[in-house]
Amino acid sequence: MCYSTTLDRELAVLEKRLNRRLIDALRPPAGSGHDVELLLPLARTSAFARPLWPVVSSKAMQRISVQRWGLLPKFIRTEEEAKDFLRKAPTFNAISEEVGTKRTFKHAFENGQRCLVPVTSFYEWRHEGKKKIPYRIGMKGGDVFCLGGLWEENAGVDTYTILTTRANPLMAHIHNTKQRMPVIIPEVQWDAWLSPDLPPAEVMRLCEPLPEEAMEAVLDAPGPTQGALF
């Protein structure tokens, strides 16, 4: 599953790539030396650290907002409840084929609460016996690309999950235990993905695996990720 990502771009570069500006209320003061309070660029980061991440959502389609990784339903009210919920039922990823029936994701799915999660790479591990071999996966050319997700507002902070789909041949070789991969939304479909009026059948079509020809994977040396586990 997709539990580790990077976004090694400054805010200005990301804004140009997505053709969208950060919501003004989130923009840091001039001369502060920081891009957002989440401090872009983001090195390899674990979902379990529940990082803040720049996201484009159907709530503000033409701007970049900041959301926290790990979708929390509305009935979660406190930080302790959130930690307990995510320990028992991690919602950092969601199986795209099941979001229409799973209680946690059904509200977001039925209400068109989709989002784009920009990254420059994600990580998966190939299992060979007891050995786990890490790979860093991105687009050919190294450009920013967008993962497809769902978002939910929780106690005034929007949270998101990354959707997964069946693996293409490249990802089936790497993620050889579960043979899954994150949903990757092609740039020409970004606006369609964010539209609340997109029919469910078309949503599912956009969740089909990206062709492996667009992707590249390299062996990655094991190393620390930003943030601690629970």
Tokens found for residue 90: 């991690």
Chain segment 124-162, per-residue pLDDT in tens? 999 999 999 999 999 999 999 999 999 999 877 899 999
Domains, the chain, in order of start with CATH, read 4-219 (3.90.1680.10)
Q: With 90 as the cut, is the pLDDT of residue 120 above it? A: yes
Tokens found for residue 36: 């957002």
Chain segment 3-60, per-residue pLDDT in tens? 999 999 999 999 999 999 999 878 766 655 545 566 799 999 999 999 999 999 999 9
C-alpha to C-alpha distance for 188 and 209, rounded to whole angstroms = 15
Residue 129 backbone phi and psi in degrees, to 5: 65, -125
- Taking alpha carbons only, the member of 191, 140, 163, 189 closest to residue 20 is 191
Chain segment 178-201, per-residue pLDDT in tens? 999 999 999 999 999 999 899 999
Amino acid at 229: L
C-alpha to C-alpha distance for 55 and 20, rounded to whole angstroms = 11
